[in-house]
Amino acid sequence: MGKSDKKRILLKIGSNVLTKETNQISRGKLEDIARQIASLKDTYEFVIVSSGAIAVAKQFVELESNGKPINVKQALASIGQPHLMRIFHENFWELGLLTSQCLLSYSDFEKKQSRTNIKNTINVLLTNNYIPIINENDTVATDEIKFGDNDKLSALAAVLLDVDLLLIATNTNGVYTKESIDAKCAKTIKEASDVKVLKKQIQNSISLHGTGGMTTKIDAAEIAQQAKIETWILNGLNDNFIVDAIDNASEFTKIILK
């Protein structure tokens, strides 16, 4: 079972976007995302890679640590993941959208059988109008193989699922030029095909909730580009950010094919 005639978009939503840069998940942001997907569903099918399980858990608990910090993170992810899915389910369900959960780990992409299973399962979900919501299986992930705030996970999933477009929603209007950041008047690089040039422009800042930063997003775009997939890095804090980008009515960075 393969793809439908609809264009397939993989939307990666970072923790900063899901929380609207606060300390809890924003239902308003999830409603905004659901509303846009509902309005686009006749033309596009969506796969979502979502961060935010740890951010959700922190709303409910403060764990006592008797191990490494990674183990506390894994425990928090285990607590937060069902809550994250519940919030997605409730907001999407209200707009007639069906959701499903897919937890993946790095090793799943290294085994041919696992890759085939993931692809087949997600194709069945999409055929039946379910939106797969992918997150890293944090409870089994180790420090060495963590995806940078799910950016790499989104790229690997985009390639595996043969998507038409990778959207990475973050808290900036795409990638800014280094000069403009230094001058404190951010200016977006609207289009680029050379990833190495982009890497020179970015400054290594790690985001508030996330483990990534712009570096891991550019790395993700490079993986996608090698598989002939265009990546857009856009500001998910803005309302209507997906539709506005598709309509070319906002400022964001397109990483086009060479």
CA-to-CA distance for 132 and 158, rounded, in angstroms?
A: 12
Tokens 């089994």, residue located = 140
Whether the pLDDT of residue 10 is over 80: the answer is: yes
Please compute the mean of the pLDDT values over residues 208-227 and round it to a whole number. 82
Whether the pLDDT of residue 203 is over 80: the answer is: no
Whether the pLDDT of residue 204 is over 60: the answer is: no
pLDDT for the residue numbered 64 = 82
65 versus 54: which is more confidently predicted?
54
Select from 220, 225, 227, 228 the least CA-distant residue to 202.
Answer: 220
Backbone phi, then psi, for 167, in 5-degree steps?
-105, 120
Please compute the mean of the pLDDT values over residues 183-200 and round it to a whole number. 91
pLDDT band, residue 165 (cuts 50/70/90): very high
Residues ≥6 apart with Cβ < 8 Å to 12:
48, 49, 50, 150, 151, 153, 154, 166, 167, 168, 169, 220
Burial of 109 (0-12, 13-18, 19+ CB in 10 A): middle
Whether the pLDDT of residue 144 is over 70: the answer is: no
What's the Rg (C-alpha) of the chain? 17
Whether the pLDDT of residue 207 is over 90: the answer is: no
CA-to-CA distance for 118 and 51, rounded, in angstroms?
A: 19
Please compute the mean of the pLDDT values over residues 169-179 and round it to a whole number. 91
pLDDT band, residue 190 (cuts 50/70/90): very high
> For residue 242, what are its two tokens?
């997906």
Q: Which domains does the chain have, with CATH numbers?
A: 7-255 (3.40.1160.10)
pLDDT tens digits for range 41-50: 999 999 999 9
Percent of the chain surpassing pLDDT 70: 90
Please compute the mean of the pLDDT values over residues 112-140 and round it to a whole number. 93
pTM of the model: 0.92
Average pLDDT value for the chain? 90
Percent of the chain surpassing pLDDT 90: 66
Residues ≥6 apart with Cβ < 8 Å to 194:
258
52 versus 167: which is more confidently predicted?
167
pLDDT band, residue 208 (cuts 50/70/90): very low
Whether the pLDDT of residue 11 is over 80: the answer is: yes
pLDDT tens digits for range 98-116: 999 999 988 899 999 999 9
pLDDT for the residue numbered 148 = 62
pLDDT for the residue numbered 222 = 97
pLDDT for the residue numbered 211 = 47
147 versus 55: which is more confidently predicted?
55
